[in-house]
Amino acid sequence: MTRGALFFLLIFATNASLALLYPFSLSRVLLLVLIYALGTGVTLYLLFHPRSQWLVTNRSRVEGADCVALTFDDGPDPVDTPRLLDILAEKGVKATFFVIGKHAEQYPEIVRRAWEEGHLIANHTWSHRLLFCFLTPEHLRAEIKRGAESIRRSCGLQPRYFRSPVGLRHPLLDFYLKQAGLEYISWRIRTYDTLIKNSRVLASRILNKVVSGDIILLHDHLPSGAEVMLEALPGVIDELRARGFKFVLVGSREDVGRKTLEPSCSNGTYS
């Protein structure tokens, strides 16, 4: 809460600097531009940088030698997620799915299938609000809570991991995540599969950057379909395995009802 309060103070001070315009002079205008640009730049960094620790404690790596984690956002998708699950099953790879709550409500059988096949299901909010960082406290809490509830209804488990839309931050996010018992998971490699239209380019972006411990961000639901990602993924998996990488989940699988755990790479379970 203290950091959130300091963030609000930063915004207030940045805007209060407009008072420096009076009495008007060129030197005051230049000083104001400098102060306002600096304050705005820091604000945007705190809100948008995916690995900034200021507003919410987060993790962007997995432990264990030569381990990487594949994560998929925005699903489930009725067409592309089952195709993705088929690829992962064929390759013997486990991944982490950050599901949107209202999508999980529409396709609970896909969420259940992902869980039953050994994947990890995580909270990606209820509705993926693009202005997530400007939500009121009430709406922020509802996005987190309803996202978790949809996962419980879909496959009977309490999610333990969270990722916000596009990695956006919120001054109260850390507070509400701690209340909900959720850990924020970021990433090290943003593949830009939302923009790249060539599977070879997408594969190269991953393979040219990846190092041990990386969490890789991909999407199993896109407005125009995830065909490019699905085409690139088998080759990426094969190449990473050839380099000695092992695929792991971002954390433990934990089913509250059954109290079962799926160890991560760091304590001995690989795929």
Which residues form the catalytic set?
73, 219
Angle at CA 14, nearest 5°, toward 138 and 45?
70
For the residues of 49-75, what is the DSSP string, one character each?
-TT--SSS-EE-B--STTEEEEEEES-
Are the C-beta atoms of 75 and 97 separated by less than 8 Å? yes
Q: What are phi and psi of 188, to 5 degrees?
A: -105, -30
**Angle at which helices 108-116 and 137-155 cross, to 10°:** 70
- 3 state SS of 268: coil
CB atoms within 10 A of CB 201: 13
Q: What are phi and psi of 147, to 5 degrees?
A: -60, -45
Please list, in sequence order, all residues whose beta carbon lies within 8 angstroms of the beta carbon of residue 116, skipping any fewer than 6 positions away. Answer: 155
